[in-house]
Amino acid sequence: MSDPLLGRASGLLLAAFASALAACSSLPTATDLMPQAPKFEFKTLPPARPIRALGAPSLIGPDGSCSAAPGPSEFIGAGIALDMSECDVVQRAGPPDSVDVSTNARGERAVVLTYLRGERPGIYRFAAGRLVSIERAAEPPAPERPTKKKPSPKTRSG
């Protein structure tokens, strides 16, 4: 008792759905629309330069001195840059005015060197022996200049 018309309509409907589904899968993709677009692959790049492992000679003591004689620096020039060791900075900036050695939340060595005078005054922060930030230090107050005394006006006697 099936209606042949209903069977034919459902068959046509199923065929139309299948062809619509097939048409959707053949839609152009972004690469089809832009064939000249560059293809990128994400890779992990090696560090720009190898950074040597830090040992005791690269770390500063609580008194602001390095425990070993200065060796060759891995940094070229006379400036101070991030990733320098504590002793690299002390060799370039001189002895600091203040040294704070502690540990951070991760249990790594944390050092703060403060320079209030000299060519490079600032607050230098280290984590695990490497320079991670440089802040401008508060400028020391300028010495007061003596003020000149004004001569008192002479009174004329007349």
Which pLDDT tens digit goes with each residue over 113-135? 999 888 888 999 999 889 999 99
> Highest mean pLDDT range out of 61-65, 100-104, 148-152?
100-104
pTM of the model: 0.54
Q: Which residues have C-beta within 8 Å of that of residue 99, sequence separation ≥ 6?
A: 60, 62, 63, 64, 111, 112, 113, 114
Burial bucket for residue 124 (CB in 10 Å: 0-12, 13-18, 19+): buried
Which amino acid type is present at position 107? G
63 confidence band (pLDDT: 50, 70, 90)? confident
The better pLDDT of the pair 34, 97 is held by: 97
54 confidence band (pLDDT: 50, 70, 90)? low
pLDDT over threshold 60, residue 49: no
The better pLDDT of the pair 24, 90 is held by: 90
Give the range of the structural domain holding residue 130, as residue numbers without chain letter. 80-138
Q: What percent of the chain has pLDDT over 90?
A: 17
Number of domains in the chain: 1
In this structure, is residue 153 part of a structural domain? no
In this structure, is residue 95 part of a structural domain? yes
In this structure, is residue 53 part of a structural domain? no
Q: What is the mean pLDDT of residues 58-64?
A: 85
Nearest Cα to Cα of residue 73 among 101, 96, 49: 49
125 has which bridge partners? 112, 133
In this structure, is residue 48 part of a structural domain? no
Cα–Cα distance, 74 to 61 (Å, whole number): 21
Cα–Cα distance, 63 to 121 (Å, whole number): 18
Provide the sign of the torsion angle of the four alpha carbons 69, 64, 135, 104, taken in this order: positive
The better pLDDT of the pair 143, 39 is held by: 143
In this structure, is residue 128 part of a structural domain? yes
In this structure, is residue 87 part of a structural domain? yes
In this structure, is residue 49 part of a structural domain? no
Q: Give the CA angle between residues 72, 76, 80 to the nearest 5°.
A: 100
Average pLDDT across the chain, whole number = 76
Cβ atoms within 10 Å, residue 120: 15
pLDDT over threshold 60, residue 110: yes
In this structure, is residue 108 part of a structural domain? yes
| Residue whose structure tokens are 């490497």 | 130
56 has which bridge partners? none
